């Protein structure tokens, strides 16, 4: 079991200026290491920055430490100018005790491998995943498209590599001889960690193919093993959820089990309407973390009205009577291990629910019409990328825009609340049922919440446009 944490931890759990999506958490020794791709705030494409790593003690998931850059784009001999972007990676400890980093350069259609003696040191280029004849996987017409690698070193030392993507990318098809996109694959690797021992085979078919899951495979392969069972996590055809399947063997026989988390809490309580989700939607990718009896699902959210500035989040999972995971609700608490105190200062960036008037959401990112973007609130910042300044806030809150925070524990005492930001209107604050306060920006307001655990929803009421920075309950 985890010990008492030194401080509160929220979603996103890394600093406001950090953008690490596709997070894969792994326990090595007494620390949790998170490996992911690395977005740049304000960038026009995915994953512009080099790989970095963050870690925390297994007994205190509030104490995240920046481990620095672990692998640079230019280290791969095929990318000396650093033009290609490093997409979602994974790391495993090989049979030889060294740590192997698997990655894909955007849509090139090949998987690279780097190696290091420590989990978060400077990884060195090691090779490309290839067939026994030396040909790199992805260079032959008709092969399955290598993408989003996930890797597992099994208890018996055998190494399993998972991969896959559901959408045919035109320039990839022409560049690499019409590669196939039939679904998620598995291949066994030799002990050298780069040579394919058993050829890739599709075990997670895409939508409308025989054997496809109810939420069919799309991308974001992730693999874990616990108590002799293999847990495969992936993003489905809906693209904003993470689902999972379980098997007693690593190379097939997986049974679909359900959704672990969805960015907009869709599929909870029967809601499937993307235009009225609890949050704005986009792609997501992550993996499972098991510490003692506790399980978590790591994922990412979108910011800045873009799919290219994503931030790391996590939720604790609960099992049902059969031992299956229930879908986690998206919260502000994340790794906190319980509700947040009903006293203190909280940044607006920790909102887990965000929508426009009339509970309108959907996909509001770079692919949406500009006419629509202007109507919706969004997370953003004033500082340039990776300037270590905590200035993230919610922008463009028009009348009826709502920011929700879940959950807080109140003792029933009377308090005062102050909302920081800009705007001449006020925020109507509710607990999901009743109005508990009307707070004008910059002014203290009497605040009374009965004893218990509640969410707080801040609904802007004004004719102008507000920016929401933080709130303080005292």
356-388 residue pLDDT tens: 999 999 987 655 666 578 899 999 999 999 999
What ranges do the domains of the chain cover? Answer: 24-337, 341-473
DSSP 8-state assignment for residue 324: P
pLDDT of 459: 98
* Radius of gyration for the chain, computed over Cα atoms and rounded to the nearest angstrom: 22
Burial of 28 (0-12, 13-18, 19+ CB in 10 A): middle
* Residue 4, pLDDT score: 72
Q: Determine whether 39 is an active site residue.
A: no
The tokens describing 267, both together, are 């599929």
What pLDDT does residue 233 have?
A: 99
Residue the block writes with tokens 């990839």: 172
Q: Which residues of the chain have pLDDT under 50?
A: 1, 173-174
Strand (E) positions, 141-249?
Answer: 150-153, 159-163, 183-189, 196-205, 217-226, 229-236, 241-247
Structure tokens at 92: 């495993």
Prediction pTM value: 0.96
- Residue 172: per-residue pLDDT: 52
Q: What is the pLDDT of residue 174?
A: 44
Residue 368 is predicted with a pLDDT of 60
CA pair distance 146, 136, nearest whole angstrom: 10
Indicate the SS3 state at residue 261. Answer: strand
The predicted pLDDT at position 367 comes to: 56
* Rounded-to-integer distance, Cα 360 and Cα 356, Å: 5
How far does Cα 47 stand from its chain's mean position?
13
Which member of 24, 90, 219, 329 is catalytic?
Answer: 219
Q: Which residues have C-beta within 8 Å of that of residue 371, sequence separation ≥ 6?
A: none
Domain 341-473 carries which CATH code?
2.60.120.260
To the query of whether residue 219 is one of the catalytic residues in this protein, the response is: yes
CATH superfamily of this structure's domain 24-337: Glycosyl hydrolase domain; family 43 (2.115.10.20)
Which of 22, 90, 143, 265 is catalytic? The answer is 22
Taking alpha carbons only, the member of 111, 98, 99, 103 closest to residue 144 is 111
């Amino acid at each position: 079991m985890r010990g008492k944490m030194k401080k509160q931890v929220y979603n996103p759990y890394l600093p406001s200026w950090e953008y690490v999506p596709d997070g894969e958490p792994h326990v090595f020794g007494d620390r949790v290491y998170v490996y992911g791709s690395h977005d740049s705030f304000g960038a026009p494409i995915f994953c512009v920055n080099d790989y970095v790593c963050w870690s925390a003690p297994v007994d205190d998931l509030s104490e995240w430490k920046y481990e620095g850059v672990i692998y640079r784009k230019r280290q791969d001999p095929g990318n000396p100018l650093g033009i290609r972007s490093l997409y979602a990676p994974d790391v495993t400890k090989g049979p030889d005790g060294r740590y192997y980093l698997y990655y894909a350069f955007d849509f090139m259609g090949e998987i690279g491998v780097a190696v290091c003696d420590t989990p978060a040191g400077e990884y060195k280029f090691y090779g490309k995943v290839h067939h026994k004849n030396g040909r790199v996987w992805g260079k032959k017409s008709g092969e399955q498209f290598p993408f989003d690698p996930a890797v597992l070193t099994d208890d018996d030392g055998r190494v399993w590599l998972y991969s896959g993507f559901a959408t045919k990318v035109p320039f990839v098809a022409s560049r690499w001889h019409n590669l196939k996109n039939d679904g998620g694959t598995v291949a066994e690797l030799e002990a050298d960690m780069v040579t394919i021992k058993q050829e890739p085979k599709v075990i997670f078919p895409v939508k409308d193919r025989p054997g496809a899951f109810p939420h069919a495979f799309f991308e974001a392969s992730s693999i874990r093993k616990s108590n002799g069972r293999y847990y495969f996590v992936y993003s489905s055809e809906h693209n904003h959820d993470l689902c999972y399947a379980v098997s007693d063997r690593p190379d097939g026989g997986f049974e679909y089990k359900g959704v672990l988390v969805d960015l907009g809490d869709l599929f909870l309580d029967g809601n499937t309407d993307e235009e009225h989700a609890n949050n704005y939607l986009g792609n997501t990718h992550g993996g499972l973390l098991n510490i003692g009896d506790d399980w978590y699902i790591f994922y990412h959210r979108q910011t800045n009205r873009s799919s290219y500035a994503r931030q790391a989040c996590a939720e604790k999972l609960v099992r049902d009577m059969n031992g299956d995971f229930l879908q986690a609700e998206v919260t502000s608490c994340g790794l906190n291990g319980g509700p947040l105190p009903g006293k203190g200062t909280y940044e607006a960036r920790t909102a887990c629910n965000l929508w426009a008037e009339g509970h309108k959401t959907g996909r509001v990112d770079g692919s949406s019409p500009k006419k629509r973007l202007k109507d919706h609130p969004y997370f953003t910042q004033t500082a340039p990328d990776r300037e270590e300044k905590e200035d993230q806030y919610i922008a463009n809150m028009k009348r009826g825009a709502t920011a929700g925070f879940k959950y807080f524990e109140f003792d029933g005492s009377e308090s005062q609340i102050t909302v920081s930001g800009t705007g001449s209107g006020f925020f109507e604050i509710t607990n999901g049922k009743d109005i508990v306060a009307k707070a004008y920006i910059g002014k203290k307001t009497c605040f009374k919440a009965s004893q218990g655990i509640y969410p707080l929803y801040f609904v802007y009421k004004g004719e102008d446009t507000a920016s929401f920075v933080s709130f303080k309950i005292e």
